[in-house]
Amino acid sequence: MLTKRIIPCLDVKNGRVVKGVNFINLKDAGDPVENAAFYDREGADELVFLDITASFEKRNIILEVVRRTASQIFMPLTVGGGVRNINDIRNLLNAGADKVSINTAAVKTPILIKQAAKRFGSQCIVVAIDAKRIANKDKWNVFINGGRINTFKDVIKWAKKVESLGAGEILLTSMDRDGTKDGFDIDLTKKVVNSVKIPVIASGGAGRTEDFYNVFKKSRVSAALAASLFHYRELKVGRIKNYLKRKKINVRV
Amino acid sequence: MIVVVDYASGNLNSVSKALKRFADNVKISSCATDILQAEKLILPGVGAFGDAVNKLRKLGLIKPIKKFIQSGKPYLGICLGMQLLFEKSEESNSLKGLALLKGKVSRFKANKDLKVPHMGWNEIVLNKKNRNAAKLFSNVKNKSFVYFCHSYCVADVEKKYILSNTIYADNFVSAVCAGNIYGVQFHPEKSQKIGLRIIKNFIELC
Neighbouring-strand partners of residue A11: A50
Q: ipTM beyond 0.85?
A: yes
Q: For B19-46, what is the mean pLDDT?
A: 94
CB contact under 8 A, A98 and B11: yes
Residue of B9, B28, B112, B121 for testing the chain A interface, max A β-carbons within 10 Å:
B121
Planar angle of CA A165, A166, A170, nearest 5 degrees:
100
**What's the Cα-to-Cα distance from B181 to each of A122, A163, B43, B62, rounded to whole Å?**
27, 35, 11, 15
What is residue A221's predicted lDDT score, i.e. its pLDDT?
98
pLDDT tens by residue, B153-166: 998 899 999 999 99
pLDDT at position A75, please? 94
Rounded CA gap, A127 and B135, in Å?
Answer: 40
pLDDT, position A20? 45
- Can you give the pLDDT at residue B67? 96
Query: HSE on the CB side for A27, CA within 13 Å?
Result: 5
Q: What is the mean pLDDT of residues B97-110?
A: 91
**pLDDT exceeds cutoff 60 at A25:** no
The b/e string for A203-234 (b: 16+ C-beta within 10 A; e otherwise) is: bbbbbbbebbbbbbeebbbbbbbbbbbbbeee
Contacting residues of B for A118, CB less than 8 Å apart: 48
Q: What is the mean pLDDT of residues A197-205?
A: 97
* CA A146/CA B78 separation, integer angstroms: 37
Share of residues in chain A with pLDDT > 90 (%): 80
- What length is written for chain B? 206
pLDDT at residue A28, as a whole number:
64
Assess contact for A50 and A38: CB atoms under 8 A.
no
State percent of chain B over pLDDT 70.
99
pLDDT band (50, 70, 90) for residue A23: very low
CATH topology of domain B2-203: Rossmann fold (3.40.50)
Hey, which residues does A124 pair with through a beta bridge?
Answer: none
Average pLDDT, stretch A118-130? 93
Residue from B149, B156, B137 nearest B194 by CA: B137
> In the predicted model, what is the mean pLDDT of chain A?
92
Radius of gyration for the alpha carbons in chain A, expressed in angstroms and rounded: 17
Cis peptide leading into A8, omega within 30 of 0?
no
Quick one: average pLDDT of B50-77?
Answer: 94
Q: Counting Cβ atoms within 10 Å, is residue B158 exposed (0-12), middle (13-18) or buried (19+)?
A: exposed
CB-nearest partner of A76 from B113, B122, B147: B147
Mean pLDDT computed over every residue of chain B: 92
